Amino acid sequence: MAKRRVVTTTINGRQTEFLCEPRQTLLEVLRDTLDLTGAKEGCANGNCGACTVLMNGRPVDSCLVLGVETEGAVLETIEGVAPVDGLDPIQQAFLENAALQCGICTPGFIMSCKSLLAENSDPTENDIRFYLAGNLCRCTGYDKIVRAVLDAAKKRNAEPAPA
Amino acid sequence: MRDFEYEAPASVAEAVKILSRHNGSARPLAGGTDLIDQIRTGRHAPQVVVDIKKIPELSVLELTAGGLRLGAAVPCYRMYGDPRISAAYAALADSARIIGGIQIQSRASVGGNLCNSGPAADSTPSLIALGAVAVIAGPAGQREVAVENFCTGPGKNVLAPGEFLVELKLPPRLPHSGSHYRRFIPRNEMDIAVVGVAASVVLDGSGEKFVSARVALGAVGPTPLFANEVGKLLAGQPVNEQTIAKAADAARAIARPIDDMRGTKEFRLHVTGVLTRRVIEESVQRARS
Ligand SMILES: Cc1cc2nc3c(=O)[nH]c(=O)nc-3n(C[C@H](O)[C@H](O)[C@H](O)COP(=O)(O)OP(=O)(O)OC[C@H]3O[C@@H](n4cnc5c(N)ncnc54)[C@H](O)[C@@H]3O)c2cc1C
Ligand code: FES
Ligand code: FES
């Protein structure tokens, strides 16, 4: 078996070291080694986006990244989204707009949405649908999700920027 | 997933050494959006995965008077994220914007798209239309191959054991030129092309005459096809409906599609004609503006 390696990353602002085999995906490392089970495995081949995390600020499917590739990377997962005293405006908007049913797809949608709003603070419905094309939902339907993202953008734009 | 070793060389020479040492059982890893799933499903069983993203040349994205240098591992988002590149090499930016969704575009490279050598690869027709040349490194040094000669069959290309793609070189954009790539898919996004067409045209100063043109077709043959006849037919002709209709007919004559779950042969031929017309028209618009 290939030798395990020590990988050093920053996950949700904290320096994190883990041991992994080359064949382990980032999704496996997050879920099985680090107990960060927020990212979900829907398809394991890059089609559903349930495993979306941010790597150096960009959304990636963590099932299509090797754990060893993240040496030195800055990672953000759903576990790091909520502030200590509540929810992120995106999470709040998903709740208020009933943009989830079973919730399997939600962590992935929220991570993609975070990245979308960081790039484009005032997206149109079309921008949102195009940007979220790599995230699939099998139960809620996309209208409520799109409405939640529009609402999240409004909420964020109304809030004073964090210091 | 199957077991393999992982290496991340920091130079072209070191990568060639590793690839040669394993004589075919090592595979380069760029964005991994094809490779990781191919290992998981057993289509490829490399003993060593060679991560090429730490090699500086592979991340070069440089626009100069001499043209564009596109490192083989540059992810799609960097291409459409640069307004100068999306303007000068519009067909390539069109391709980069529709490969997978946003997560795929964060990682997937044009180099990986080319080396995977699928007949429906969305960026290869654009590379061909824009006259790109592949720079290949190997045990015997570097060599260059025009992209239209790179793929040799479904999943097959000219790379010999020990060789890998370093970068793509695109010639400078000429005045009064424009390019476009478009594909037909039944959905709006996240699907494999039923047909894809790329064109790049150069007009004269009046914008009413084709000086030259290059057209390439995807998903209508065992490899992406360079439709050389179409370009020849357009050169020197006035920009009008008849000229473009003739070009579309010529593209249909070059296409060699098969029947499969994505479309029948007849349908693909029809779509080839329609897309060729639209892609040339849009390239003309872009050349004029
Ligand atoms: C959900 C999903 C959607 C997709 N949608 C599209 C789409 O719309 N259009 C499309 O064309 N493709 C699509 N793809 C396929 C894939 O994303 C593209 O082919 C992508 O460009 C591959 O690039 P990569 O950097 O990820 O390559 P990798 O997966 O890293 O490599 C691909 C292959 O090329 C080899 N390779 C990579 N770089 C080099 C090099 N420099 N030298 C030699 N060999 C090399 C690898 O060994 C491997 O065999 C999709 C894939 C997924 C999972
Ligand atoms: S589990 Fe990664 S995209 Fe579906
Ligand atoms: S809420 Fe169930 S898949 Fe989206």
* Residues B195 and B165 grouped into a single domain: no
pLDDT beyond 80 at A159: no
pLDDT band at residue A161 under the 50/70/90 scheme: low
Q: Is the CB of A42 under 6 A from ligand 2?
A: yes
**CB-based contact B200:B130 (threshold 8 Å):** yes
Model pLDDT for residues A94-126, shown as the tens digit of each residue: 999 999 999 999 999 999 999 999 999 999 999
- Main-chain dihedrals φ then ψ at residue B228, nearest 5 degrees: -55, -40
At residue A81, does pLDDT exceed 80? yes
Residues B14 and B108 in one domain: no
- Give yes or no for residue A50 CB within 6 A of ligand 2: yes
pLDDT over 90 (residue A57): yes
Q: Give A64's pLDDT tier (boundaries 50, 70, 90).
A: very high
A61, B1: Cβ pair inside 8 Å? no
CA of A18 to the centre of ligand 2 (A): 22
Same domain, B158 and B256: no
Distance CA(A34)–CA(B263), nearest Å, equals 45
Judgement on whether residues B74 and B133 belong to the same structural domain of the protein: yes
Cα-to-centroid distance, A66 and ligand 2 (Å): 13
Q: Same domain, yes or no, for B42 and B137?
A: no
For ligand 2, is residue A151 a contact (CB within 6 Å)? no
CATH number, domain at B32?
3.30.43.10
* Closest residue by Cα to residue B151 from B220, B217, B218, B224: B224
Q: Which residues of B touch A116 (CB under 8 A)?
A: 102
- The per-residue pLDDT for A2 is 87
User: Is B196 found in the same domain as B97?
Assistant: no
| b/e sequence B193-232, b meaning 16+ C-beta within 10 Å | bbbbbbbbbbbeeeeebbbebbbbbbbbbebbbbbeebbe
Calculate ∠ Cα A151-B107-A20, nearest 5°: 105
- B272: pLDDT strictly greater than 60: yes
Domains along the sequence of chain A with CATH: 5-80 (3.10.20.30), 89-158 (1.10.150.120)
Q: Do A134 and B103 touch (CB under 8 A)?
A: yes
The C-alpha of A44 sits at a distance from chain B's nearest C-alpha, in angstroms, of: 8
At B189, is the pLDDT very low, low, confident or very high (cuts 50, 70, 90)? confident
Give me the pLDDT at residue A89, please: 95
Domain count, chain B: 3
Stretch A126-134: mean pLDDT: 96
Q: What percent of chain A has pLDDT over 70?
A: 98
Q: Over 60: is that where the pLDDT of B221 sits?
A: yes
- Residues B124, B70 within the same domain: yes
Tell me, what CATH number does B63's domain have? 3.30.465.10
pLDDT at residue B102 is higher than 70: yes
Q: Do B127 and B158 share a domain, yes or no?
A: yes
- When pLDDT is cut at 50, 70 and 90, the band that residue B288 belongs to is very high
Averaged pLDDT of chain B:
96
What pLDDT is stored for residue B106 in this prediction? 98
B99 Cβ inside 6 Å of ligand 1: yes
Contact yes or no for A66 and B6 at CB 8 A: yes
Does residue A163 surpass a pLDDT of 60? no
Percent helix, strand, coil in chain B, to 5, is 35, 25, 35
Residue nearest to atom 3 of ligand 2 (CA): A46
Q: Can you tell me the mean pLDDT for B246-274?
A: 95
User: In this structure, what CATH number is given to the domain that contains residue B196?
Assistant: 3.30.390.50
| Closest ligand 3 atom number to CA of residue A105 | 4
Residue that is written with structure tokens 């490279």 in the block: B109
Task: Give the residue among B91, B86, B221, B243 at the shortest CA–CA distance from B153.
Answer: B221
Q: How many CB atoms lie within 10 A of CB A5?
A: 14
Is residue B262 scored above 90 in pLDDT? no
What is the model's pTM?
0.97
What's the rounded Cα separation, in Å, for the pair A162 and B51? 38
What is the C-alpha R_g of chain A?
A: 16
Establish whether residue B104 lines the binding site of ligand 1, counting it when its CB lies within 6 angstroms of any ligand atom: yes
Q: Is the pLDDT of residue B201 over 70?
A: yes
Note whether B156 and B253 are same-domain residues. Answer: no
Rounded Cα gap, residues B116 and A134, in angstroms: 21
With an 8 Å Cβ cutoff, are A60 and B107 in contact? yes
Using the mean position of ligand 1's atoms as its centre, give its distance from the Cα of residue B251 in Å.
27
DSSP B174: P
A46 lines ligand 2 (CB under 6 A): yes
Q: Are A31 and A50 in contact (CB under 8 A)?
A: no
Which string of DSSP letters, residue by residue, matches A68-103?
GGGTT-EEE-GGGTS-TTS--HHHHHHHHTT--SS-
ipTM of this predicted complex? 0.96
Identify the H or E element spanning B29.
Answer: strand B26-29
In angstroms, the CA B18 to CA A83 distance is 46
Provide mean pLDDT across the span B142-166.
97
Under the banding of pLDDT at 50, 70 and 90, the label for residue A162 is low
Could you tell me the pLDDT band of residue B190, with boundaries at 50, 70 and 90? confident
pLDDT tens digit sequence for B33-92:
999 999 999 999 999 999 999 999 999 999 999 999 999 999 999 999 999 999 999 999
Nearest by CB to A60, from B1, B51, B106: name it.
Answer: B106
Percentage of chain A exceeding pLDDT 90: 91
CA B102 to CA A19: how far, in whole Å? 29
Distance from CA of A23 to the nearest CA of B (A): 6
Q: What is the pLDDT of residue A1?
A: 78
- Judgement on whether residues B68 and B142 belong to the same structural domain of the protein: yes
Q: What range does the domain containing B84 cover?
A: 56-170
Reported confidence tier of residue A77, pLDDT bands at 50, 70, 90: very high
Same domain for B271 and B215: yes
Q: What percent of chain B has pLDDT over 70?
A: 100
Structure tokens that stand for B226 in this block: 């360079």
Where do we find the tokens 């094309």? A133
- The three-class DSSP label of residue B134 is strand
Regarding whether B156 and B61 lie in a shared domain, the answer is yes
**Residue at which a domain ends, from B148, B170, B192:** B170
